[in-house]
Amino acid sequence: MSHPDRFLLAGVMGSPVMHSRSPMLHNYWFEQYGLAGSYVPLAIEPDGLPNALRALHALNFSGCNLTIPHKQEAMAIVDDVDETARRIGAISCVIVGHTGKLFGSNNDCYGFIENVLEFAPTFRADAGPIAVIGAGGGARAVVWALAQRGAKEIRLVNRTLARAQRIEGEFGAPVVAVPWEERAEALADVVMVANATSQGMVGMAPLDLPLDSLPKHALVTDIIYTPLETPLLKAARMRGNPTLNGLGMLLHQGRPAWKAWFGIEPTVTPELRAKIEATIKA
């Protein structure tokens, strides 16, 4: 789709936000498709989020992505959300309509599954139990994605059991809330472990998750991509498990956003992945 009379704009709102690789990702696609436009980081504090979102239309933005801490708060600001975002309870993408109406969607679940399938095309969510660590917005997206792919048992482990139980109550089967004290036992016989917390990210403490009972064939994945190999992934790799970081989740979630903003569905290429990996300390 051509846009000859318009400089295309999109961005990512968060606090902090300057660490995000999203601008590099989206500006790569602007260059790849020969479009005049830019994707910019927007450092927005929580109390400024309503005004910032409403200003998108006047500033001629097609939309924006949302990152910490805005994904849940934005639900109450936008005018409408899709069913996936409504069920997850968070939005990761805002589309600005021609009249200024703001529409929210959640592409994190799409990004998570596409990342897994790129790495392990034969992966089946219904092949056995899956353990998900965390109960925030990222965990909700991961759980929803796995449930939609047919997972029969998702063991949701969180330090605050009540938060995991809240998701269990909202999503129903196959989610089972597991106390933090039972996290090691929850890994027995699983086909996947997904860390959906910020533990292990640069500047954060490692995730405290013993892997002794984890089957050697289980895929260990992390939604974090800074660093490329978290302490969890390193420990899993050293004991022989296949591992997957969260960079592909970031890359793939951008595809439906572009489709909604600009009418183009871009591809995730090895060149793009290598370009972004080169900026991240392993």
Catalytic residues: 71
44/16 Cα distance (integer angstroms):
8
Contact between 122 and 184 under an 8 Å Cβ cutoff? The reply is: no
What are the φ and ψ backbone dihedral angles of 99, each rounded to 5 degrees? -90, 0
Q: Which residues make beta-bridge pairs with 179?
A: 158
Count of CB atoms situated within 10 Å of the CB of 183: 20
**Phi, psi for residue 118 in degrees, rounded to 5:** -65, -40
Alpha carbon 250 to its chain centroid, in Å, reads: 6
Specify whether the CB–CB gap between 182 and 204 falls below 8 A. Answer: no
